[in-house]
Amino acid sequence: MNDTFLKACRGESVPYTPVWLMRQAGRYLRQYQKIRKKVDFLTLCKTPELAAEVTIQPIEALGVDAAILFSDILIPVEAMGMALRFYEKRGPVFKNPVRRRQDVERLLIPEPEEALSFVMDTIRLLRRELKVPLIGFSGAPFTLATYMIEGGTSKNFLLTKRMIFESPEVYRSLMEKITETVTRYLKAQISAGAQAVQLFDTWAGVLSPHDYREYALPYVKSVIGAIKSIASGVPVIYFVGQCAGLLEEIRGCGADVIGVDWRINLDDAIKRLGRRFAVQGNLDPCALFLPPAEIEGRIRDILRRASSSRGHIFNLGHGVLPETPVENVVAMVEMVHRLSSRT
């Protein structure tokens, strides 16, 4: 197996900088589009054979150094008892959002091997097929809470922040249930065969440093601490969208790798995080629309800035956009491997 990704997560010497991409399986690939014409998104997530096939597609098409399980961060939330629908232009929608104490009380803490068995079956299928490491994942507690409270995506997260400030006990009860659900979910993924896990805190960047430290970070620390207590050798990656204002607080999360978006230079992030973390990132997803020569220039700059890190996994600062030219993604992976070669 190609274990370059896992070595980089641990800060070990590697022959080149490994690369994988958030949302590397998805709509920009024709192979994916072909399958999606036959099934809706949730059915795809819940059918192990299809989810495994979609997970493998970019490994073969792009030559990346790790696979990430094809699923969605809201899958465990649905298992908590919330009615989830995906709409093409609106994205995810919960018709029964959490707004009151009674809403929190009705939520379940699902047993993953029962309520989410299709995810574990997908992981087991993939481990038999893959020749690169498999990354499992979950949304982080705060990010999942925003979807549950807002009823979907949001521009200003008003309902979430009002709950935090006006009903702190309700918010705390909700976060405790989400945290336990995420902890069990990631432990089950690791038991099924995931070799690394990533926590996506996509919306934590909407919080001030004080509020992040008070209302998001403790729950992240709880999840990561629980994982480390049973699987200390499994790397944990923590990604925060719009992380630049929170890096000093993020240092306390307990992860092995910090994902960095494109809104900060990687060397600046490394200085503020310290050298005990490996870093992941941080090309702007829209940079993949540049001509190849300019993409190469961006890659050279990121690799140079990452040279002071404990370890570096090349990635985008967020997910691959559906309109991205596949040939530019293939070229990017080749460039990262070639430009970072140490042999």
Catalytic residues: 23, 27, 36, 72, 147
Q: How many CA atoms lie within 13 A of 37 on its CB side?
A: 6
The dihedrals phi and psi of 216, each to the nearest 5 degrees, come to -125, -50
- CA dihedral (122, 128, 129, 131) positive or negative: positive
| Alpha carbon of residue 223 to chain centroid | 14
How many helices and strands in the chain, by DSSP H and E?
17, 9
Report how far apart, in Å, the C-alpha atoms of 176 and of each of 183, 237, 270 are. Answer: 11, 21, 31
What tokens does 39 get? 């099934």
The dihedrals phi and psi of 198, each to the nearest 5 degrees, come to -120, 135
Paired residues of 281 in beta bridges: 314
Report how far apart, in Å, the C-alpha atoms of 269 and of each of 16, 96, 214, 244 are. Answer: 21, 39, 22, 7
Dist CA 231 CA 225 (whole Å): 10
Residues 326 and 61 sit within 8 Å (Cβ to Cβ):
yes
- Is the preceding peptide bond at 328 cis, omega within 30 degrees of 0? no
